[in-house]
Structure 1
Amino acid sequence: MQFIKYLFASTLLLLLALTATHAQPSANDRPWRAQWIMANQNQNATSTWQCFRKDVKLTAKPAQATARIAADTKYWLWVNGTLVVFEGGLKRGPTPQDTYYDEVDLAPYLQAGDNTLAVLTWYFGKEGFSHKSSGSAGFLFECLTPELPILSDRRWKARVHPAYELAPSPLPNFRLAESHLRFDARQDLGTWQVPGAPTPGFGAAQELGRPPTAPWNRLVRRPMPFWKDSGLKEYVSTRRVPGPTADTLVCDLPANIHITPYLDVEAPGGVLVTLLTDNYLGGGTVNLRAEYVTRAGRQQYESYGWLNGHKVLYVVPKNVTVHGVKYRETGYDTDFAGSFTSSDPFLNKLWEKSRRTLYVTMRDTYMDCPDRERAQWWGDEVNESGEAFYALCPKSHALHKKGMYELIGWQRADSSLFSPIPAGNWSKELPGQMLSSVGYYGFWNYYLHTGDRQPMADLYEGVKKYLHLWPANADGTVAFRQGDWTWGDWGENIDRRVLFNTLYQLALKGARNMALLLDKSADADAYQKRMAEIKQAFNKQYWNGTAYRHPDYKGETDDRCQALAVVAGLADEDKYPALFKVLQQEEHASPYMEKYVLEALFLMRQETYALQRMQKRFGYMVNHPDYTTLFEGWGIGAEGYGGGTVNHAWSGGGLTILSQYLCGIAPLEPGYGTFQVMPQPGPVARASQTVASVKGTIKSTFVNQARKFTLDVEVPTGTTALVGIPDHGFSEIRLNKKVVWRQGKYLKRTSVPAAASAAQHHVAFEVPGGNWTFEASK
């Protein structure tokens, strides 16, 4: 016990030193024939691991063998000794009652004759901010092939895995549904997954009922890909930090990533090796670690519970010989298909760190952070999903879609919404975040970038019900709803009543667009009328001649409110000079809300100052040499918010701003059938952006010189781009070396020029699919 105390004291000191530096549309209604099963000796204890095994004989190798698999909570599947699924299953649930299941084609792994299926399951058995516990472990397997149906039932062999134990205190913080993993190799079952291997202690499985049955109820097909899996890899570098009784191997990862640590050691029996990352204390709380108790001899072990960080630490007692350490990276299966580069190294680094932070906050859901909470806070998700459209490939869209269905699937009887969901130990509504989630930058932004109409149809009524909870004051503004936690942002000087009005206006804008899409004209008219009323009342009640302020608000002028008034269309252009002055003076927004400040500055055509402010406010975290990700607050630890993690993708809104405004790429109709390329270069000499849209690759590259502006655009086949040259006093524009505009006039041989309001600061042209070069000169 004394050694354990020393171990944690020394490890924590080392860590501190290091850190200083509705139902889903994919539901399958085909009746299930299989039974939920579990091992007979299982008592549904927290963090229970179970082994299941089935030997089957097939008359022929099947051409296709789609298995439907569900587990409470996670599973690993071997077929004939080959690991086929690494961490299957998703945290519960699509609704507070229901459960996800996976589909896997096993045909490539099956053979004519004898086959062995082996499954290891991990039952979390406790609540968290990202998981609703059912109260019972369980496993379900159904594979219907002409050769032989394979169904989970009492004929499967099962047992609780005796080597997995709960690790002692300090326990992980209450937000996490996962437990520390402790594996005592002296109790290991050996190669029980391999065909022909002995299965000591296995007995007939216990049947728990055929779906849909409580506590898992209706099963919903997994709406997103399985994890990308790197296989076991070598660390970038490893160094040994000596200690009195144990040394610590500090292993560098290529970036902040999700990993499962592996070791190859030789040791006497009963020696404790501890595995953790530099994020063990992320956000100022105890997060997750793993422990391994050796058996005598040489042995290998991989801890299956994923961790994240920049470094992995192995605390190894002196009497253990280390032959090797490795890691496996897993994560959401999407490609880094978007890209950005410019003449400004800071902007390049901000964009890359934003994408890295985005990716490390994606897994079962979008997360606020991968260490302290792993929770689907929807304020974070709005920023994250917006970044994903520019940074990642379309496979990423499924995570946003899943989150939308979950948000409405968890809607309460009184029509209120809350997040994070799914959750077992949280149920508080944050009104501002909920307005953001269902609004223009939440649900509607998904449709705008994907063209996927079905979620709008399925979820609209839930959005409508929530918006009806927000009545009007007698003066026409939005009545203040306190909710369960009246959170508007981290930080100081939050003028919440004004802030909620701006967010409600954006929510109405999204709902109006949904109603128009769904031919609900009466609803659309009502939303439009209410938006007009709010705009008039907002300016009458809150505009004091120099800024927007609630009459009862006593703090410093809130930069968030000024920015969102612009973004929501509540502030007309005649107020822009005064609002710009405020945004030059006030800096209260957290990195989450700073995205809207930067967007407002671009909308007001103040891109030069926007880029200056971006560098000033994000400079510390972007330039920090020890982290590849962005922080929750403007600093680390005490300088951060809510404990201050170093991997919060809500801070990545600058990525969206650089892609959408600096390089100017944005959809004009849902699904990018028509899109714009309207760069606002400011002082940037050159920049290039690639977007992997649902219609194909879009690329914009500009070179910005004193007397010349060049813009190269790649437009996917079958789409139309509205391309704009910044109206900076040019006298002539050439398109693919032919003059198409001169002295303020379009020449007859040019394509039809656009007259859209979005082009009022650009000379705009409509072009079809192809590669286009615009050259503007003075």
Structure 2
Amino acid sequence: MFQRFYLLLAILAFGCTVYAQEINPELLKRHWTASWITCPDAPQKDYGVFHFRKQINLEQVPNKFIIHISADNRYRLFVNGQSVCFGPARGDLVNWYFETVDIAPFLQKGNNTIASTVWNMGTLAPVAQISNQTGFVIQGDSDKEQAINTNSTWKVIQNKSYSPCSTDNGERLQAYMVIGPGDHIDASKYPWGWEQAGFNDSNWINAVGVTSPSPYGIGTDNLWQLTPRNIPLMEESMQRMQKIRKTDGVTVTDKFLQGTNPLKVPANTKVSILIDQEVNTTAFPILSVTGGKGSSIQLTYTEALLDKNLQKGDRNKIEGLSVIGNYDIFLPDGGTNRQFGTLWLRTYRYIQIDISTADEALTINDLYAYFTGYPFEQKAQFSSNDKSLQDIWNVGWRTARLCAGETYYDCPYYEQLQYPGDTRIQALISLYVTGDDRLMRKAILDFYNSRVPDGLTQGRYPSSRLQVIPPYSLYWVSMIYDYWMYRQDDAFVAQFLPAIDAIFGWYENNMDKERGMLGPMTWWNFTDYTDRFPNGVPPGADDGNSSVITLHLAYTLNQAAQLYKHFGKECEADQYTNLATELTKATYNLCFDKTRNEMADTPEKKSFSQHAGIMAVLSNTIADSEKQSVMRNVVDDTSLIPVTFYYRFYLTQALKASGLGDLYYPSLDYWRDMIKIGLTTFAEKPEPARSDCHAWSASPLYDYFAIICGISSASPNYKTVKIEPSLGELKEVSASTPHPQGEIKVDLKRQGLKGIMGTVEIPSGITGIFVWNGQTIQLNGGTQKIDLK
């Protein structure tokens, strides 16, 4: 099964793609002629792994053969034994995505075998997975492809070799972990070769129809509303494992990991092998074995080894530490070259293999993996005289990549859920480093589709469990604002204005009219996982008059006012500007302590946090002339409740807004310290951290460009640019970042204590300004020299 599958993927990784954009417009206007099909003798909402097959005969190989495919929960498609794609991209029942692919490169003259694995994790499914019931659909794009349509001519079987394992991850790790179960596979029950042309499927049963496939907006009594996939297929590229760190019961060299030296395990033996990938990764592990009937092989995955108290420490150390985490189990049947691959990706730096053989020796032929994730391409470049910044770049970029798949992930090991708080930062990184806005657009749409009746977006989405985080609805508005500033697509942005109105309406309904601040609020008002915010919630959020969230609302209202003014909605723009002014004035009067020169968390002034001061500056509650003194207190006063890595993004924004961007460079020590203790991706929060790979902590990749180099959009649609570097102690920087019309490049060196020289290049057709120490230079398309004393 897996051998041909992954040989093909090695080819696909070098640029050949089967993803197609062609969709017969008629298929978006009416029910499809194919059927959703399923296995008739299996519970439709329970755990199950199924294989579907059909033979089609072609008189000649077509130039193109476009199909549309989807499944619930998920599928992987094979054509003539070769893997074509997997999906669908996660959405919800109202927006159930289908892939459009051209399978012509896999077809041959004569008989062709179309096959697919479809699986439903039932109640054990990841929380990020919404589901209706087991189902599979393929629709040919035009008349010439109709033979492939799913209907009762397709055959199906439930693969009884699969059962769930590793279902107690959260209990064993004492952490919130909702990525779904591991795979337990009994090879003696596996229908080996099921996807190949010569396989005998005479004992398989005919699939049965479930319902007529309905595109979005068509029909009634629908189970799924089909929507075209709006992101590319995921990358899958070969990834060898790197190093054997420890063995027990056997001698193994690194040549085994290179695929050149199979490992022989004698009969009636127990073996344990600890493998270090040396960096965190998201991948599909592949195991090839021969013999070993009656054996058991367990693969356990972890980001870091743990001590007896489930604490991590130096990620490079292994002595006295254990592998505790998500696992898979494979039971060989004694066959030759049996290939085990996981249904879904695994996240790990370390893999422990625990083998127990019975009366037959086992040979491990090979163990490797296929990296997977959103196919981002790094187009930006950054360098400086401080070489340690490159290390931060490498770890940050790995973090950003591992936290991006069919959605943005908060963390790939524990949740794989998309939250607006994380996603806003991730999306900005994507724009600056890759120029690819497709996953950002999908995220904005996902949250738009998540709205609950009171107008708020859900706190994460897609999600099978309801969670509402009101401040995250505000970050969704900020995401729309960011998109509007960096991309020209007014039609896309305008559709969200009524939803923005509803969010602000919820907040206005929760106002404390007497005090002019927000009153008590429902749901989970998470702000930051700092230790002195219980469960991440700042004082006053639940019982009323939180300065942090009140000023966060004002900050977002100011962004929305600009949006509405752009779209000619002057009345709404004025309304939001006035409301922001009322909130900031009331909060300043009630919460600002002039003696301390600091913003309290509530009018009682019993609690003071960096968060309150940050939002006071970003919302313009603090006068421009006072912002620097307030922000210096935010940075220097160690008695304030501190921000964690997440909220440092907003701390940095506030430093920049106060003219103190030069204070950003020293803060990078927090990231250097993570690298010093062996982290290869950036953690969720300061030690002790649950997640070793958390999206919001990749923010330096944005800050390098927006803060150190000072590159930002100065008007909607990135039509003008502002470049205001904040080099701190750096002597020189060189960077390039994609712009919709080309590239923006800076190459700058300090002159003495206050001067700067170098070049700036912006695309033709845009203009901008360069700002340095109060001096401004006008920029035009092309390259211009900078020489300021």
Normalised TM-score (structure 1): 0.85
The residue aligned with 2:34 is 34
Q: Is the 8 A contact 2:665 2:727 kept in 1?
A: no
2:123 paired with 1:126: yes
Tell me: CA distance 1:144–1:599, structure 2 relative to 1, closer, same or farther (3 Å). closer
2:346 paired with 1:307: yes
Residue 462 of structure 1, CA deviation: 1.0
The residue aligned with 1:621 is 674
2:686 paired with 1:662: no
Q: Is the 8 A contact 2:112 2:197 kept in 1?
A: yes
Residue 414 of structure 1, CA deviation: 2.1
Paired with 1:273 and 1:332, the residues of 2 have a C-alpha distance of: 30
Q: Is the 8 A contact 1:662 1:681 kept in 2?
A: yes
The residue aligned with 1:447 is 484
Tell me: CA distance 1:46–1:167, structure 2 relative to 1, closer, same or farther (3 Å). farther
The residue aligned with 2:87 is 88
The residue aligned with 2:657 is 603
Tell me: CA distance 1:286–1:45, structure 2 relative to 1, closer, same or farther (3 Å). farther
Paired with 2:167 and 2:710, the residues of 1 have a C-alpha distance of: 52
The aligned runs of 1:447-596 (5 Å cut-off) are 447-471=484-508, 472-474=511-513, 477-491=516-530, 492=532, 494-495=538-539, 496=541, 497-545=546-594, 546-553=597-604, 555-576=606-627, 577-586=629-638, 588-596=642-650
Letter in 2 for 1:631: A
Tell me: CA distance 1:82–1:172, structure 2 relative to 1, closer, same or farther (3 Å). farther
Paired with 2:145 and 2:602, the residues of 1 have a C-alpha distance of: 74
**Quick check: 191-200 or 458-467, which moved more?**
191-200
In structure 2, the gaps of 5 or more residues are: 1-24, 215-219, 251-268, 312-322
Residue 685 of structure 1, CA deviation: 0.7
Paired with 2:561 and 2:751, the residues of 1 have a C-alpha distance of: 42
Residue 309 of structure 1, CA deviation: 1.8
Tell me: CA distance 1:667–1:476, structure 2 relative to 1, closer, same or farther (3 Å). farther
Tell me: CA distance 1:286–1:151, structure 2 relative to 1, closer, same or farther (3 Å). farther
Paired with 1:60 and 1:108, the residues of 2 have a C-alpha distance of: 12
The residue aligned with 1:631 is 683
2:691 paired with 1:645: yes
Paired with 2:168 and 2:475, the residues of 1 have a C-alpha distance of: 36
2:781 paired with 1:775: no
2:266 paired with 1:269: no
Paired with 2:471 and 2:786, the residues of 1 have a C-alpha distance of: 43
Residue 208 of structure 1, CA deviation: 0.5
Q: Is the 8 A contact 2:125 2:181 kept in 1?
A: no
In structure 2, the residue corresponding to 1:322 is in which secondary structure?
Answer: strand
Instruction: Select 1:252's aligned residue among 276, 291, 313.
Output: 276
In structure 2, the residue corresponding to 1:257 is in which secondary structure?
Answer: strand
Paired with 1:410 and 1:211, the residues of 2 have a C-alpha distance of: 23
Tell me: CA distance 1:550–1:632, structure 2 relative to 1, closer, same or farther (3 Å). closer
Tell me: CA distance 1:162–1:413, structure 2 relative to 1, closer, same or farther (3 Å). same
Q: Is the 8 A contact 2:722 2:770 kept in 1?
A: yes
Letter in 2 for 1:326: Y
Cα deviation, 1:200-227, whole Å, max 9, x if unaligned, reads 5311101111023766321111111110
Residue 464 of structure 1, CA deviation: 0.8
2:757 paired with 1:710: yes
2:445 paired with 1:405: yes
Q: Is the 8 A contact 1:62 1:145 kept in 2?
A: no
Residue 630 of structure 1, CA deviation: 0.7
In structure 2, the residue corresponding to 1:595 is in which secondary structure?
Answer: helix
State percent identity of aligned pairs: 20
The aligned runs of 1:196-207 (5 Å cut-off) are 196-199=198-201, 201-207=203-209
Letter in 1 for 2:128: H
Residue 240 of structure 1, CA deviation: 4.7
Q: Is the 8 A contact 1:126 1:133 kept in 2?
A: no
Paired with 2:142 and 2:561, the residues of 1 have a C-alpha distance of: 48
Paired with 2:582 and 2:674, the residues of 1 have a C-alpha distance of: 41
The residue aligned with 2:383 is 341
Paired with 1:551 and 1:61, the residues of 2 have a C-alpha distance of: 71
Paired with 1:410 and 1:214, the residues of 2 have a C-alpha distance of: 21
Residue 175 of structure 1, CA deviation: 4.9
Residue 124 of structure 1, CA deviation: 2.3
Tell me: CA distance 1:632–1:498, structure 2 relative to 1, closer, same or farther (3 Å). same
2:767 paired with 1:720: yes
Paired with 1:248 and 1:544, the residues of 2 have a C-alpha distance of: 61
Instruction: Select 1:294's aligned residue among 332, 345, 356.
Output: 332
Paired with 1:568 and 1:650, the residues of 2 have a C-alpha distance of: 21
**Quick check: 152-161 or 711-720, which moved more?**
711-720
Tell me: CA distance 1:286–1:479, structure 2 relative to 1, closer, same or farther (3 Å). farther
In structure 1, the gaps of 5 or more residues are: 1-25, 728-760
2:445 paired with 1:423: no
In structure 2, the residue corresponding to 1:51 is in which secondary structure?
Answer: strand
In structure 1, the residue corresponding to 2:336 is in which secondary structure?
Answer: strand
The residue aligned with 2:78 is 78
Paired with 2:504 and 2:355, the residues of 1 have a C-alpha distance of: 56
2:438 paired with 1:438: no
The residue aligned with 2:399 is 357
Q: Is the 8 A contact 2:684 2:694 kept in 1?
A: yes
In structure 1, the residue corresponding to 2:784 is in which secondary structure?
Answer: strand
Letter in 1 for 2:200: P
2:112 paired with 1:115: yes
Residue 46 of structure 1, CA deviation: 4.0
The aligned runs of 1:225-244 (5 Å cut-off) are 225-230=232-237, 232-243=238-249
In structure 2, the residue corresponding to 1:76 is in which secondary structure?
Answer: strand
2:762 paired with 1:764: no
Paired with 1:444 and 1:655, the residues of 2 have a C-alpha distance of: 20
The residue aligned with 1:16 is none
Letter in 1 for 2:248: P
Cα deviation, 1:620-650, whole Å, max 9, x if unaligned, reads 21433x2211111111xxx23xxx2111121
Paired with 1:168 and 1:600, the residues of 2 have a C-alpha distance of: 44
The residue aligned with 1:185 is 187
Residue 242 of structure 1, CA deviation: 0.8
Residue 651 of structure 1, CA deviation: 1.6
Normalised TM-score (structure 2): 0.84
Cα deviation, 1:315-335, whole Å, max 9, x if unaligned, reads 223643222211111110110
Cα deviation, 1:66-100, whole Å, max 9, x if unaligned, reads 21111012211111222111x2212341xx54422
The residue aligned with 1:752 is none
Q: Is the 8 A contact 2:73 2:131 kept in 1?
A: no
In structure 2, the residue corresponding to 1:126 is in which secondary structure?
Answer: helix
Report how many residues are paired.
700
Q: Is the 8 A contact 1:354 1:629 kept in 2?
A: yes
Residue 548 of structure 1, CA deviation: 1.2
**Quick check: 63-72 or 345-354, which moved more?**
345-354
Paired with 1:357 and 1:437, the residues of 2 have a C-alpha distance of: 22
Paired with 2:89 and 2:227, the residues of 1 have a C-alpha distance of: 11
Tell me: CA distance 1:145–1:550, structure 2 relative to 1, closer, same or farther (3 Å). closer
Tell me: CA distance 1:236–1:217, structure 2 relative to 1, closer, same or farther (3 Å). same
Paired with 1:145 and 1:57, the residues of 2 have a C-alpha distance of: 16
The residue aligned with 2:431 is 389
Paired with 2:278 and 2:784, the residues of 1 have a C-alpha distance of: 38
Q: Is the 8 A contact 1:124 1:177 kept in 2?
A: no
Residue 280 of structure 1, CA deviation: 8.3
Paired with 1:196 and 1:578, the residues of 2 have a C-alpha distance of: 74
Letter in 2 for 1:91: R
The residue aligned with 1:744 is none
Residue 578 of structure 1, CA deviation: 3.5
Give me the CA root mean square deviation: 2.6
Letter in 2 for 1:438: V
Paired with 1:251 and 1:551, the residues of 2 have a C-alpha distance of: 51
Tell me: CA distance 1:269–1:261, structure 2 relative to 1, closer, same or farther (3 Å). same
Paired with 2:427 and 2:591, the residues of 1 have a C-alpha distance of: 31
Paired with 2:32 and 2:278, the residues of 1 have a C-alpha distance of: 44
